[in-house]
Amino acid sequence: MYASVYRLRKNGVRLPRPDSPTFGELVLGTFSQGDRTWLRAQVTDGASDKLPPLHQATVHRIALHGMVIRGTETIARSASPKSTSNQHPQTWWVMVWTRHAIDELDGEDPLDGEDPLDELAERKAMQKFGSSTRF
């Protein structure tokens, strides 16, 4: 499924505001190593990962336009194949590009450079306060 993925942590520390979105194909699948199997979440462009995959991923919450996925992100310390890696907790807020989400954004292209969350938040604020604001 096509999605905008917002990383909510950096090196395991929660960010005050989500990172800018990464657009791509969200793939949820099982990953096996030895006798263990767990869910892995990936964002790809069809050929390569656009973000480090989340291992031991769990879908924590499902909302109208997306979901929250939590897992462990593994990042290599250097480009060397013998390099050690760091593992950090990571949380993604995923905006899934369903027909309903596209209709709410008036059919705007998600790749036009604007953050779709800002657009949705602005519309919700106008609905909530637009008609009741008095000067």
Q: Could you tell me if 21 and 39 are in contact, meaning their C-beta atoms sit under 8 angstroms apart?
A: no
Placement of tokens 């499924």 in the chain: 1
> Structural domain boundaries of the chain?
2-129
pLDDT digits (tens, 9 = 90+) for 117-129: 666 666 666 665 6
The Cα 61–Cα 93 span in angstroms is 9
Q: Could you tell me if 21 and 40 are in contact, meaning their C-beta atoms sit under 8 angstroms apart?
A: no
pLDDT digits (tens, 9 = 90+) for 6-38: 999 998 999 998 888 899 999 999 988 888 888
The residue among 91 and 122 whose pLDDT is bigger is: 91
pLDDT at 77: 76
The Cα 42–Cα 1 span in angstroms is 11
* Model-wide pTM > 0.85: no
